[in-house]
Amino acid sequence: DAGVIQSPRHEVTEMGQEVTLRCKPISGHDYLFWYRQTMMRGLELLIYFNNNVPIDDSGMPEDRFSAKMPNASFSTLKIQPSEPRDSAVYFCASSFGAGSTETQYFGPGTRLLVL
Amino acid sequence: AQSVSQHNHHVILSEAASLELGCNYSYGGTVNLFWYVQYPGQHLQLLLKYFSGDPLVKGIKGFEAEFIKSKFSFNLRKPSVQWSDTAEYFCAVNPGPNNAGNMLTFGGGTRLMVKP
């Protein structure tokens, strides 16, 4: 299996622009997670989906952030408009099963820089 | 809300030294515990996990961790580190066994540098 795939790997944009990050989970996994990693705040869970349905989005920082999962093999995280404080590495992870012992498999991340 | 604390933010060791990274959590119920590693420029990978049974868990690359319920701790250890262990290490917790989801709460991470 190719693992969790994220694109783009790097994104540089200007403040005010829309940014869309993409994730393809491991085939067969029914949970998908979006995390943000910064030096100041560490690794934070933004939102997660189960069977394409958003379950908990309490970590989404504000209305500028939105996430969708139109099907089992694709999810997007959108920031509109972007701001410099959104600069971070965004990770997508997936797992299989509802058990809390299940391992989450992380993608390589998207390194976002908002100028 | 549960929280995870990793008190050592940066650790510098020489090769062959022993390693112990601390992890404490605040959740009072049954928990599942994980250690993830992030090598420079790479994504997070699972090192080991504990959910039941022997509280001493062995993971990949010679790492192990011990769950001490009375201390709410899950410290990571390795008897002899190598330069290739230079990475950031994250402890993570989720409540079990009736957790409706699979949410992980991560600690702030510990950056380990191993000098050759």
The partner residues of B81 in beta bridges, in order of sequence, read none
Give the confidence band of B42 by pLDDT, cuts at 50, 70, 90.
confident
- Chain B residue with Cα closest to A105: B45
Please give chain A's pLDDT, 115 residues, in tens: 679 999 999 999 999 999 999 999 999 999 999 999 988 888 889 999 999 999 889 889 889 999 999 999 999 999 999 999 999 999 999 998 766 667 889 999 999 999 9
Q: What is the pLDDT of residue B13?
A: 97
Q: What is the pLDDT of residue B105?
A: 86
The helix/strand/coil state of A14 is coil
* CB–CB contact B100 A98 (8 Å): yes
SS (H, E, C) chain B: CCCEECCCCEEEEECCCCEEECCEECCCCCEEEEEEEECCCCCEEEEEEECCCCCEEECHHHCEEEEEHHHCEEEEEECCCCHHHCEEEEEEEEECCCCCCCCCEECCCEEEEEEC
Structure tokens at A100: 């809390």
Distance (Å, whole) CA B61 – CA B9: 22
Instruction: Tell me how close the Cα of B29 comes to any Cα of chain A, in angstroms.
Output: 13
Q: Which amino acid is residue A1, in one-letter code?
A: D
Q: Is the pLDDT of residue B93 over 80?
A: yes
The full length of chain B comes to 116
* CB–CB contact B101 A42 (8 Å): no
Q: CA separation (Å) from A45 to A28, A90, B88, B96?
A: 22, 10, 18, 18
Instruction: Tell me how close the Cα of A90 comes to any Cα of chain B, in angstroms.
Output: 10
The helix/strand/coil state of A84 is helix
Q: Cis bond leading into A8, ω under 30°?
A: yes
pLDDT in tens, B52-88: 889 999 999 999 999 999 999 999 999 999 999 999 9
Q: Is the pLDDT of residue B28 over 90?
A: no
- Alpha carbons within 13 angstroms on the beta-carbon side of residue B47 total 26
Of B43, B95, B108, Cβ closest to residue A100: B95
Give the confidence band of B27 by pLDDT, cuts at 50, 70, 90.
confident
pLDDT in tens, A80-111: 999 999 999 999 999 987 666 678 899 999 99
| B 42-101 → A contacts, CB under 8 A | 42-46, 49, 51, 90, 94-97, 99-101
Q: Is the pLDDT of residue B99 over 70?
A: no
* CB–CB contact A98 B90 (8 Å): no
